[in-house]
Structure 1
């Protein structure tokens, strides 16, 4: 898998999970890849995310000014051999501030033994479990049409302490044989107990059983320590920038 293919999986997976309340598009605008709200009849437009891949900072900034989005952030995808510091400095010179950096990682799923845990691990196949997770997160993590046996556009997995969800992760269809890993999260008082590793393994086993050839994700600082133990390897790096208000009114 190439970084370009992994970026496409990111765009398709991320926009699907953002489309629960209103369609969120993955599209190309000139040289830019853009994630944005589809046309609205009412309500405010959400922040656009502009994805930069394969073009120099000066060229990207010129394209952004031509596009003239109102509310936006930019995600710059770098190959491992690109000079991270120089590119960061170039965007800072153009009026952007770095919010965070996240490794982009890929894995070819295979069947693995699920580590033992004291928690109940399961795929969400009923509305009761889905509602329990929604009460904790404050929003829906899965649509009703994806709650069924067999493969689905989005599959939601969770770890439960009795009936209370304490961790969850989603696997999203992002193209033939490709799954995007969305929102791996463990509640703070249940961390460092092996839940994330067990839950990810459980999900990846089902990805494999349904024919997935690749799993793609962006890693948080904590995730970057965990995912290599599951077999993930880094294919690129995402730098997330926000425009400074005094430079980008």
Structure 2
């Protein structure tokens, strides 16, 4: 039996939102039919497969259905039983004011957290920023899903990388995840990110293909 969900990516300036159909062990033909019926515009199919699955067969099956492989991402998880202590080289703060949320939106060029989640008692999302002389140089967010969390975005400005800022942000986020009752954290990583996240304890458990309809 498979499982799946539909997510909508944030709209880029001047562009349209894209719907992502993310799922595991579902029949490609069924997913294709659902996406064609319910997608409201641009969309992509995102099947997640394990290390023992035949990735070539999966890719070829979707190719026959009219899709091309755009890129792959790595699905990673981390237990929250133990979290290493990390000394941060910069100031780390959780976004708890509208003013800081607006500053972050300006820096990131898009909104990172909804106003109603900023100071909520048990928000469905938490966002953290890294500050150097009060300038935002990095941020990360955590989405709450019952006893688990999902890191939906991690970024450090290029000129501030390789200083341990990303590691410090993740450690702070994970500690608050555990404090909030979560037992496991997860994320999707790019090829570059897949080199960072194991440093703070994440392990790869699967791969997600991002498939888009071929242009006619």
> Could you say which TM-score interval applies, normalised by the shorter chain?
0.7 to 0.9
Q: What RMSD over aligned residues (CA atoms) do the two structures have, in Å? A: 2.6
1:200, 1:130 → 2: CA distance? 19
Compared CA separation, residues 150 and 52, structure 1 to 2 (3 A): closer
TM-superposed deviation, 1:59 = 4.9
Superposed CA offset, 1:105-139 (max 9, x none): 11121353442232111111222321221111122
- The answer to whether the 8 Å contact 2:89/2:163 transfers is no
Aligned match of 1:134: 105
Compared CA separation, residues 54 and 112, structure 1 to 2 (3 A): closer
Aligned match of 1:146: 117
Superposed CA offset, 1:177-217 (max 9, x none): 11111111111111111111110001101111111111111
Compared CA separation, residues 165 and 104, structure 1 to 2 (3 A): same
Superposed CA offset, 1:38-89 (max 9, x none): xxxxxx9733222342134355445555x27453211111122101122112
Matches within 5 A, 1:30-45: none
Extract unaligned runs of 5+ from structure 2.
Answer: none
Aligned match of 2:206: 236
1:134, 1:59 → 2: CA distance? 38
Aligned match of 1:99: 70
What is the aligned length?
211
Aligned match of 1:22: none
Among 96, 104, 117, which residue is 2:88 paired with?
117
Extract unaligned runs of 5+ from structure 1.
Answer: 20-43
Aligned match of 2:160: 190
Among 135, 142, 145, which residue is 1:164 paired with?
135
The residue matched to 2:87 in structure 1 has which SS?
A: coil
Aligned match of 2:193: 223
**TM-score, length-normalised on structure 1?**
0.75
**TM-score, length-normalised on structure 2?**
0.85
